[in-house]
Amino acid sequence: MTYGDVFIDVEEELAQKPVAPRDAAIMQTAENAMLGQNQRGGAAAAMQAAAERNERGGFVGHDQLNDAAGDGGVSITETELPGRRVITEEVDGQVVGQFSQRTPLAPPTMGGITIGEALEATAMTAGNKPVERSDSAAIQSAEIRATGRTSIMPGGVAAAAQSAATLNSRTTRDEDKTKLADILTDATAKLPTDKPATKGDAEGVTEAEMRNDSMLTTNPVGVAASVATAARLNQQNYNSNRKKD
């Protein structure tokens, strides 16, 4: 299934490209980071279904990513209107989803998606993944950046991830291992302080995850990917708001 099959308004070269698994994963991460969940019937759900069908049919590989979706090609922006906000989802500059939500009566006190919220998004996109050393390192970097501390907190999410990674390395069966969801669900409540994710935060977390991975790579829907997506969406919305002003 191509983008044109899934989204009737998509045109030109993108319309001819098959939806790939990592395209869907990036949109899923973006929705979770921006909205706190995947939208039922939204772009991420449609892309996931198409990608799974394409992979079963042998048209795309499990780790395949289209250039159109990589390098910031997936974006979600919000437009504030009286009493509601309009969410627009795009791939390579073309709209693949748009819907509106009622604006909360009490607006958030922090501007943008926080590091804690990005960690919670990881619990949804990669929650079934056993915690490994690279995940632990990325979570440690994220916690330090969120709290402004120079070391991890006793009993915090980073300490829990560190213990889980050590225990998992000694555990044979995956079903017996501690998963990311066990550590990162409700991460914001486990952080004493939090902050909106920035490009610098994303770079630091990505470096930590890569440095501790045996293949020197990051998980496309893991901790670093979620923080990077949050930082990019924050920057996009900041730029959008500046244009309005």
Instruction: Give the model's pLDDT for residue 110.
Output: 46
Q: Are residues 75 and 126 in the same domain?
A: no
Residue 243 lies in a domain: no
Do 79 and 121 belong to one domain? no
Say if residues 147 and 191 touch (Cβ distance below 8 Å). Answer: yes
CA distance 185 to 124: 8
Shared domain check, 231 and 175: yes
Which pLDDT does position 108 carry in this prediction?
44
Domain's final residue, options 107, 138, 169? 107
Torsion of CA 62, 67, 70, 71, to 10 degrees: 150
Domain boundary among the residues 107, 136, 162 is at 107
Q: Tokens at residue 4, please? A: 């044109």
Residues 95 and 125 in one domain: no
Residues 73 and 151 in one domain: no
pLDDT of residue 72: 67
Question: In the prediction, which pLDDT does 109 show?
Answer: 41
Taken in order 131, 234, 93, 7, the sign of the CA dihedral is: positive
81 within a domain of the structure (yes/no):
yes
Residue 151 — φ and ψ, nearest 5°? -145, 165
Together in a domain, 144 and 172: yes
pLDDT at 68: 84
- Same domain membership, residue 83 and residue 17: yes
Are 197 and 103 members of one domain? no
The verdict on residue 244 lying in a domain is no
> 218 — phi, psi (to 5°)?
-115, 155
In a domain, 145, yes or no: yes
The single residue listed with the structure tokens 């044109």 is 4
Q: Tell me the CA distances in angstroms from 28 to 172, 192, 239, one per residue in order.
A: 30, 27, 22
Domain end among 107, 126, 152: 107
- Distance (Å, rounded) from C-alpha 107 to C-alpha 189? 18
Helix residue ranges per DSSP H, 36-156: 43-56, 115-125, 133-147
86 and 156, same domain (yes or no): no
Same-domain check for residues 69 and 135: no
Q: Are β-strands 84-91 and 94-102 bridged in parallel, bridged antiparallel, or unpaired?
A: antiparallel
In whole angstroms, give the CA distance from residue 135 to residue 209: 6
Domain range spanning residue 77? 3-107
Per residue of the chain (245 residues), give pLDDT as tens. 999 999 999 999 999 999 998 888 888 878 877 777 777 888 999 999 999 999 999 999 887 888 888 766 888 888 878 888 888 999 999 999 998 877 654 444 446 889 999 999 898 888 999 999 999 999 999 999 999 999 999 999 999 999 999 999 999 999 999 999 999 999 999 999 999 999 999 999 999 999 999 999 999 889 999 999 889 888 877 776 666 65
Provide the number of structural domains found in the chain: 2
Spatial contact of 18 and 2, defined as CB atoms under 8 Å apart: yes
